[in-house]
Amino acid sequence: MAAETIVRLPSDSSNMTVDEVFASLAPKPPRGGVIGGAGLLLAAIVAVYLSLATLGDLPGIVKVPFFLVGVYVAIRGIDTICKNVKGPGFDTGLWLCVTWLGLLGLAAIFADFLPFTEHVNTVKSIAEPGNARPDLFSRHPLGSNNFSLDLLGQSVYAARVSVGTALMAVTVAVVLGSIIGLAAGYFRGWLDIAIGVFTDSILSVPALLLLIAVVTVIGKPKAPFESVWKMGLTLAIVAVPTMARLARANTMVFAQREFVLAARSMGASNRRIIFREIAPNVALPVLSYSFIIIATLIVAEGSLSFLGIGLKQPNPTWGNMIAEGQVSNVLRKYPHIALVPGFVMFLTVFSFNRVGEKFRSLWDQREAKI
């Protein structure tokens, strides 16, 4: 974006040499150096530790801000260290997001081998007292819910369902949407109008209501794996038209370029032009946009299971975990039941948005007409 490239000359630039001016314009790493950053990080870890472990009995309105400030200071600390080591241009936020997504992905894939306290079988957990508060060094590091199921374990298994559903939906959307969009944008005419009317029809119904209606027809999923493909295909219904529009807009831009004309004048068939000449170019914006779509779809899946139209507890998804903590008595007494999965979900959605935004700014050619 233009804003980042605005150059401000130093006020006393008149009596500097050219080299000095350039040197003064180069961005500097934040003050404090590695040691300062490490200090910040240490202070932050102590603060987060205090808020999660020792301050156990203070009301949430003190603890939660304390925790958030701790997280903020920790990020500043990491930022200072990274910028001093890697140079001032280092995009710490982006890499933190990538790290989070990587950790979450690994945890979700290898969840079966991780030592979680009981998180799904209420029969086994029934003996324990429920609603444990978060305490990093107890058996429930992030607390437990009403049925004494471990929230850390639930959050990780929920990631399987929630992120898996979104990935399923986005894969279908990218493949189908690209084909539809390529056809509409390349052939134009009646095909384009028909596809346009159809996508407009789907997009003119409020997405959540459409999804609810579809799920009532096909039936709620009962097992995690069933949920991934069933809800994934349902979510694809709203994701395909969006992708199709994007692919169509980009196809129209590329279809007018010289290399397409060259291919056509050499006698290339429509199929060859679409798949060999245009599709590779359209793939870049579509794929980079798909990260942002994933973020939206995770929220959509969460909304459905929050409303009770999706997987039911004790099979966790982020949506039904938050719904469990939503009841006003539970929310008042044990806010962590809603806030823990909420925070995990927020970080994930934020990270996908952030990474997607980065890709989009790399590949986007001046906001193609959608």
Partner 1 sequence: MSLFRDASLGDGQLLRTIGIKILLLIPVLIIVSFGTFVLVDLVPGDPAQQVLGPNSTADEYERIRLELGLDTPLLERYWDWGTKVVVHGDLGKNLINPRVDVSDTLQRSFPINLELAFASIGVSLLLAVPAAMASAYFAGRRLDRSLSVTAFGMISVPPFLSGLILILIFALSLGWLPDSQWTRLTNNGSWTDLNLVENIKSLVLPVLTISINEIAVFLRLLRGDLIGTLQEDFVLAAKAKGMPTRHLMLREAMRPSSFSLITLAGVSVGRVIGGTVIVERIFSIPGVGKQVVEAATKSDYPIVQGGVLVLAIFYVAINMGIDILYGFLDPRIRRGR
Stretch touching partner 1 by CB under 8 A, among 47-55, 121-129, 134-142, 202-210: 202-210
User: Which string of x and - marks every residue 122-141 that binds partner 1 (by CB under 8 A)?
Assistant: --------------------
Dmax of the chain from CA atoms? 79
Q: Is 32 in the site for partner 1 (CB under 8 A)?
A: no
Closest to partner 1 by CB, 1 or 127: 1
3-state class percentages of the chain: helix first, strand second, coil last, to nearest 5: 75, 0, 25
Residue 123 Cβ vs partner 1, minimum distance, rounded to whole Å = 28
DSSP string, 237-279: HHHHHHHHHHHHHHHHHHHTSHHHHHHHHTT--HHHIIIIIIH
Q: Which of residues 249-308 bind partner 1 (CB under 8 A)?
A: 252, 295, 299, 302-303, 306-308
Stretch touching partner 1 by CB under 8 A, among 34-42, 122-130, 203-211, 276-284: 203-211
Residue 75 Cβ vs partner 1, minimum distance, rounded to whole Å = 10
Residue 129 Cβ vs partner 1, minimum distance, rounded to whole Å = 23
Residue 27 Cβ vs partner 1, minimum distance, rounded to whole Å = 11
Q: Is 200 in the site for partner 1 (CB under 8 A)?
A: yes
User: Which string of x and - marks every residue 340-369 that binds partner 1 (by CB under 8 A)?
Assistant: --x--xx--xx--xx--x-----------x
Answer for the pair 108, 160: CB distance below 8 angstroms, yes or no.
yes
Give, as one character, the DSSP assignment of residue 53.
I
Answer for the pair 304, 313: CB distance below 8 angstroms, yes or no.
no
What's at 347, amino acid-wise?
L
Tokens of 268: 């290339």
- Coil, strand or helix: which one is 144? strand
Give me the helix-helix angle, 279-306 and 224-255, nearest 10°: 150
Q: Is 24 in the site for partner 1 (CB under 8 A)?
A: no
Stretch touching partner 1 by CB under 8 A, among 30-38, 108-116, 125-133, 204-212: 204-212
Q: The dihedral of CA 330, 331, 335, 336: what is its sign?
A: positive
Closest to partner 1 by CB, 176 or 207: 207
Closest to partner 1 by CB, 268 or 307: 307
Closest to partner 1 by CB, 89 or 219: 219
Selected from 103, 114, 193, 262, the binder of partner 1 by CB under 8 A is 193
- Whole-angstrom distance, CA of residue 125 vs CA of residue 128: 6
The position carrying tokens 């979450």 is 104
Residue 134 Cβ vs partner 1, minimum distance, rounded to whole Å = 16
Answer for the pair 191, 184: CB distance below 8 angstroms, yes or no.
yes
Task: Output phi, psi for 150, to 5 deg.
Answer: -70, 125
| Site residue total, partner 1 (CB under 8 A) | 58
Q: Is 210 in the site for partner 1 (CB under 8 A)?
A: yes
Residue 314 Cβ vs partner 1, minimum distance, rounded to whole Å = 20
Closest to partner 1 by CB, 108 or 299: 299
Give, as one character, the DSSP assignment of residue 118.
P
Tokens of 299: 């929220």
Q: How far is CA 227 from CA 119, 233, 254, 315, in A?
A: 18, 10, 38, 10
What is the distance between the terminal CA atoms of the chain, rounded to a whole angstrom? 19
Q: Which of residues 216-255 bind partner 1 (CB under 8 A)?
A: 216-217, 219, 252
Q: Which residues bind partner 1 (CB under 8 A)?
A: 1-4, 6, 59-61, 93, 192-193, 196-198, 200-201, 204-210, 212-213, 216-217, 219, 252, 295, 299, 302-303, 306-309, 319, 322-323, 325-326, 328, 331-332, 335, 338-339, 342, 345-346, 349-350, 353-354, 357, 369-370
